[in-house]
Amino acid sequence: MITVIDLKIGNINSVSRALKYIGIEHILSSNPVDIDKAEKLIFPGVGSFAEAMKRMRNQGLDSALKQAVLSRKVPILGICLGMQLFASIGEEGGKTEGLDFIKARVAYHRASGLGFRLPHIGWNEVEHNDLEIFDSVPEKSCFYFVHSYEFIPEEQIETGHTNYGVDFVSFVKKNNIIGTQFHLEKSQGVGLKVLSNFCEDKF
């Protein structure tokens, strides 16, 4: 069973609707017990880094997630803030420790210093280097983004890139940990395809 982690902030139902549409059974939960039992995890999220970490700690979700992802090696897909929370440290809403699944920090997007408007909102190309999870998705397909902070890895991992003023990391993969800065559930056909690839173990 797939567990979709619900921190009760933002639009989590969109992911659930997208999964339903492509016929994938799943549960929505913020209960550590459901994370202990999960065979796969999807971690969507919008909102602020600090607020999300606070909610996770209050519910004991951070330790349940660490146990599942680092010890049991359960595949996890983080979307937008969900991916950002994999980092060691986040700068949104004050410096906050993240889940530290990937040595990385999350900082205000460098495009701001280059005269680009933030948030980075809209459709932008992803150079995904034909990684397996993008099976049947053409290189440089457009996905939907809405974010002001970017994920900056500080260790060697597989990445995909997008350009907004600068090339930034819009996709990460480290073993069983996968993250997309873009919203799969809002990227129409290509987004649903990546979501179903994850559910069908193509990664």
Partner 1 sequence: MLRNRVIPIVLLDGYSVVKTIQFDIRRNLGNPIVVSRIYESRNVDELILLDIDASRENRSIDLHTVEAVSCECFMPLTIGGGLKTCQDIENALKAGADKVSLNSIIFENPYFLKEAVSVFGSQCIVASIDIKKDNSGEYVLFSNSGKDIKFSLEECLSLLIDSKVGEVLLNNVDLDGMMTGYDLDLIKYVSSRVNTPVIAAGGASKPEDCVKAVKAGASAVAVASIFHFTSITPRICKEAMANAGIPTRI
* Buried b or exposed e, range 29-44, using 16+ CB within 10 angstroms: bbbbebbeebebbbbb
Contacting residue, 96, 170, 180, 187, with partner 1 by CB under 8 A: 187
Region 28-57 residues binding partner 1, contact defined as CB under 8 A: 46-48, 51
Contacting residue, 43, 101, 134, 164, with partner 1 by CB under 8 A: 164
Region from 13-21, 68-76, 98-106, 129-137 binding partner 1, contact rule CB under 8 A: 13-21
Q: Is 142 a catalytic site residue?
A: no
Q: What does DSSP say about strands 2-5 and 40-43: parallel, antiparallel, or unpaired?
A: parallel
Q: Is 80 a catalytic site residue?
A: yes
What is the crossing angle of helices 13-21 and 188-199, to 10°?
Answer: 80
Does the footprint of partner 1 cover residue 72 (CB under 8 A)? Answer: no
190 in helix, strand or coil?
helix
Q: Is 92 a catalytic site residue?
A: no
Distance separating alpha carbons of residues 157 and 93, to the nearest angstrom? 26
Where do contacts with partner 1 occur on this chain (CB under 8 A)? 9-11, 13-14, 17-18, 21, 46-48, 51, 117-125, 142, 144-148, 163-164, 183, 185-189, 191-192
